[in-house]
Amino acid sequence: MFICVFLASSQRIDPKYLRLAEEVGAELARRGHTLVSGGARVSCMGAVARAVRAGGGHTVGVIPQALVDIEVADTDSDELIVTADMRERKGAMDARSDAFLVLPGGIGTLEELFEIWTARTLGLHDKPLVLLDPWGLYAPLKELVGGMHEEGFTRAGVFDAISWTTTVEEAFELLEKPAGRLAPSLDELGEATAG
């Protein structure tokens, strides 16, 4: 499988997040999967890619030219795709991936998560989406979306479109399991796309 991992590029984070990225990369390689990532060599993004390669795995990095220009590209990547901008980058990552794994990260990670989650909720893809959150960083997000659901802003299956876990082993078990396509009704589509 080609597994896209969304995760932090910040260099101001607790080292435990780097260790988590390394553990994910090692497990990804051990299971024979290919990593698709944002193509940077810094922070967790770099840590997961280095761990995959150290385990004999293959890495595909997708990075916009603007980040190449500031010299953060993972030039050791087995395949480095340079895009014109962030929108093209996300499209290339989505197209290359069979499943998505979200680790702790910042607003860029959240943007990637929400785009894939929304598409899955709308039935636009049936690729597994797993959020790995060992320390509860995303707990307020889960509560927020739950509140949105209670207020009628999301369709009933919003949480059917994503799996939440706290362990690397369970994350990969969920990624490797077929997700099944969600098929929202016309009424639900109106709710989900209303803005």
From the number of C-beta atoms within 10 Å of its C-beta (0-12, 13-18, 19+), residue 120 rates as buried
Question: pLDDT tens across 93-139, in order?
Answer: 999 999 999 999 999 999 999 999 999 998 999 999 999 999 999 99
Q: From CA 181, how far away is CA 189, in angstroms rounded?
A: 15
pLDDT tier for residue 187 given thresholds of 50, 70 and 90: low
**Arithmetic mean of pLDDT, 169-184:** 91
Lookup: tokens for 177? 């399991």
Indicate the SS3 state at residue 9.
coil
Q: From CA 65, how far away is CA 33, in angstroms rounded?
A: 26
Helix (H) or strand (E) holding 27: helix 15-30
Does residue 186 have a pLDDT over 80? no
Does residue 191 have a pLDDT over 70? no
pTM confidence score: 0.92
Single-letter amino acid, residue 131: L
Does residue 179 have a pLDDT over 90? no
